[in-house]
Each structure stands twice: as structure tokens, then as C-alpha cells.
Amino acid sequence: MGNVKDTPKAYLEPTNEEEIVNIVQKALQENRKIRVVGSGHSWSPIVPSGDILLSLDQWQGIVSIDEANHVAEIKAGTKIWRLGELLHEKGWGMENFGDINRQSLAGAMSTGTHGSGIGLGTLSTQAVGFTIVTGKGEIVECSAQENPALFKAAQVSMGLLGIITKIKIRIIPAQVLKAVKSTQNLDDTLAHLDTHLQNRHFEFYWFPCTKYTYHKTMNVTDEPAKPLGWKHKFQDIFIENYLLWVICRLVKVFPSLAKRVSNFSGKVLKDGLFINYNHRLLSQPRLVTFTDWEFAFPVEKFTKVVKAMEAVMEQQNLKEHFPLVCRFVKGDDIPLSPAYGQDTAYISFHTYARRKNPEYLQHLEQVVKSFGGRPHWGKFHTYTTQELQALYPQWDVFMDMREKNDPQQIFVNDYLQKLLGIQQTVTVN
């Protein structure tokens, strides 16, 4: 998104695991730092190393498929869009996808990237095993059976436990979904939330400062996939990208129009019905650059949080038009997952990247903080170490695992050192 810059001393693109091990062992001897970049789609500066930056772009593809157990082993650098198509060619698919599919598989899992569907976990929960080159320069395999504590911690680990080289994921037979999109009213959306959540996938946009919501529900169907024709392109590309861009430019020049524009946007999205494979429907292109703040809560608090946001927009006369996105995810038992221990509602709020609207962002973040919201690791937030620690019951479990697997801190960058309160090790040369 262009807001994070790194000036590494070395940029490496290894093509096999042996090379990755050699890079880590050499870095250990020379007392250097390494960070891995996936697709660089995180807004928070969790990637920059200032020293060695490693990309797994030359390490992509399916290693093997275990059809009997519905498990595929994937090279960690594989881009999700590519993985969707590669699995599809063999009659398989992933359980769920995020809003976009440009991330690498390891990068997406490392921050707890999620889609929507209260019966489905984050992408990290699709992992059943990892191969990791740790900060000791060793290749370690982990799963629920083998090194289970490392496996749990690695599911959301921001590159702090080592370089993930291969990921075993659960796969499902290729699945056709029927997507229904419709404009609704916020009060009705909240009143019937339990019913909406019964859909396999349910998410909605909320146009700030208005009562407009735009629902997307998707369920498995026996109907055959239909080509995604002009209507789909019109909606996904023209309205949600080009028209949004025009609107963003307009509001940047005339900020006072934000509320009226939000009203207009709420009306302009069209109802639609589309039938196709899940990897083609669940993610869409995002061509407008925006800033993204996203927080996770127990789903039971969702209505109260939305009402509190609505109240603060009204009381403070906040002006924004970029839709908030509300999504729902099954809880998990991953130490640093924002969905840890609770079926979770996520609310993300955005502004156009070129239009700063700090008042709006600060007020909404205050609301989510007051409800104990956990921030998305790859997005903007202003949480302190103490605030984060209080939100994660297994914080120390993760930190112990980090210390054991990277005692020399070669995978720690300045941002994560400060954010997570990692004590610097003293190196004696």
C-alpha cells in the first residue's frame, strides 16, 4: 500500500530450502537480522529488516496432495490467488479466503488474515503443519502431533519464530457458492444478525454516517458455476473500484461532502446473484489505495460496538464515506490470534490513503478499545505492549516459544521489538 519502506542491505530470493537454511546459518554467524516479505500487503511495519530481506517469490507451488486425508502441502511463498487456481485444476479448494488474494500463504497466516463466516476460522486455522527454519538454523516440522506448542504459536507468528518454508493445509473438494448481494438497513441488519450468521459466509459494508448496509451472503449450491459476466465486473471493478476512486478524489477536495457521498454510495450498489467456485467469488480486486484499521471482538458485543460507533459519529459530527467492513469468524486456540478463545466479529474502518481523517480514525479506535477489541497485526492501530498483553491470555506462551526458537533475535525488527516489548539480548562478540 506504499506506506511502509525498507532499505535492506541485502535482498534475497532463495529457490530451495537448503539455500534458506544456509542464509539463516550465515546470518547467525555474522550476527545479522532477517525478515521475510510475503506480498508486502501489511500496513503495519512488521516486515522491514534494515538488514537482510528475504522473499519466497521463487518458492511457490503445491508440493503434494494427500487426497485420502484432504491435506495439501504448499510452498510457503505461494500467492493465494495462484494457490486457488492450482488446487482448482486438481478438483480441490481452500475452506475460505480473505477479501483479496494477492498475499502469500505464509504472509497471510502470519498475521491471522481472515475472511468471513462464523463457522469458519481465520486462514491460520486451515494450517495443519509447518516446516520452519528456526533462529537456530535448524529445519523443524510441527503439527498437532509433532512439536504441538511450536505449531500453535506458528499459526500467527509474524515471522518471529523462523522462516516458514512449507505449510500443510486442510483442503476441500472444489466448492460452488451462490452469492447474493443486497442493500439493507443497519437497524434491520443488527436485528436479524443471528439469522444472517447462519449463512456459510456473511459480511456487510456499512456506509458511515448513514443507515445503509450492503450484504454479501454466500452458500454452497449444487447449481453449476456460471461465468462471471459483465454484471459482476460492473459491480466488483467499476463500482467498488473506479467509481469509489472518483468519489475518494472528490471528497479529498471537498471533505464537507463526505456524508452526502456516503449516502449516495449506499444507494448505488446493486443487488446481484452470482454462482461460481469459492476462490473466484470470495476475493475481489482492490485498486483504490486506502488505510485500514481492523479490530476483533467477541461476536456478542458486535451490536453494542456498532451502536457506540454510530453514536460517536453523530456526537462528534464525524465525516467519512469509505465503507466499514463487518465480518465474522469462528474462535480458535492460537496464542496470538485476534480470534483467540472467542467467536469473533471483526470491524474494519478505512480512509482513502490520500485523505487523512485522523479525528474519525481516533474516535473509532477509542470505541473499539473501550470494548476490548484486538487489533489486526497487519493493519494500523496505536496499541501499547501493556494493552496488547492484557488482551492475550497466552501472550507469555508465545513469547517463550519465540525465545526458544530465536534466542539470538535474528528475526526481530525494531517495530516488533517495541510493540511486543521484546527485551534486547546482549551479544558478546
Angle of helix 302-315 versus helix 358-370 axis, rounded to 10: 140
Angle value at C-alpha 329, between 241 and 422, nearest 5 degrees? 95
Instruction: Report whether 123 contacts 334 (CB < 8 A).
Output: no
CA nearest 159: which of 336, 392, 391? 336
> In the complex, what is the shortest distance from the CB of residue 1 to ligand FAD, in angstroms, rounded to a whole number?
5
Please tell me whether residue 131 binds ligand FAD under the rule CB under 6 A: no
Regarding beta strands 272-277 and 201-206, do their DSSP bridges make them parallel or antiparallel, or are they unpaired? unpaired
Q: Which is nearer to ligand FAD, 114 or 402 (CB)?
A: 114
Please tell me whether residue 99 binds ligand FAD under the rule CB under 6 A: yes
Kindly indicate which of the ranges 93-101, 228-236, 240-248, 295-303 contains the residues binding ligand FAD, using the contact rule CB under 6 A.
Answer: 93-101
> In the complex, what is the shortest distance from the CB of residue 294 to ligand FAD, in angstroms, rounded to a whole number?
7
d(CA 151, CA 404) in angstroms, rounded, equals 13
d(CA 367, CA 312) in angstroms, rounded, equals 8
Please tell me whether residue 37 binds ligand FAD under the rule CB under 6 A: yes
Angle value at C-alpha 147, between 145 and 153, nearest 5 degrees? 110
d(CA 49, CA 54) in angstroms, rounded, equals 9
Please identify which residue in 53, 74, 87, 106 interacts with ligand FAD, judged by CB under 6 A: 106
- Encoded one letter per residue, x for contact with ligand FAD by CB under 6 A and - for no contact, window 374-403 reads --x-x-------------------------
Strand partners for 104: 79
Kindly indicate which of the ranges 42-50, 171-179, 226-234, 382-390 contains the residues binding ligand FAD, using the contact rule CB under 6 A.
Answer: 42-50
Kindly indicate which of the ranges 5-13, 105-113, 172-180, 299-307 contains the residues binding ligand FAD, using the contact rule CB under 6 A.
Answer: 105-113
Please identify which residue in 56, 153, 281, 305 interacts with ligand FAD, judged by CB under 6 A: 56
What are the backbone dihedrals phi and psi of residue 189, each rounded to the nearest 5 degrees, phi first?
-55, -45
Restricted to residues 142-161, the positions that interact with ligand FAD (CB under 6 A) are 158-159
d(CA 351, CA 363) in angstroms, rounded, equals 13
Please identify which residue in 96, 101, 110, 394 interacts with ligand FAD, judged by CB under 6 A: 110
Kindly indicate which of the ranges 29-37, 226-234, 297-305, 351-359 contains the residues binding ligand FAD, using the contact rule CB under 6 A.
Answer: 29-37
Please identify which residue in 70, 136, 260, 286 interacts with ligand FAD, judged by CB under 6 A: 286
Q: Strands, E, within 278-403: which ranges?
A: 290-298, 324-329, 344-352, 374-375
Kindly indicate which of the ranges 33-41, 138-146, 201-209, 213-221 contains the residues binding ligand FAD, using the contact rule CB under 6 A.
Answer: 33-41
Beta carbons within 8 Å of 147's beta carbon, 6+ residues apart: 140, 141
Please tell me whether residue 114 binds ligand FAD under the rule CB under 6 A: yes
Restricted to residues 186-245, the positions that interact with ligand FAD (CB under 6 A) are none
Q: Which residues bind ligand FAD (CB under 6 A)?
A: 1, 35-42, 46-47, 56, 76, 98-100, 103-104, 106-108, 110-111, 113-114, 158-159, 163-164, 286, 376, 378
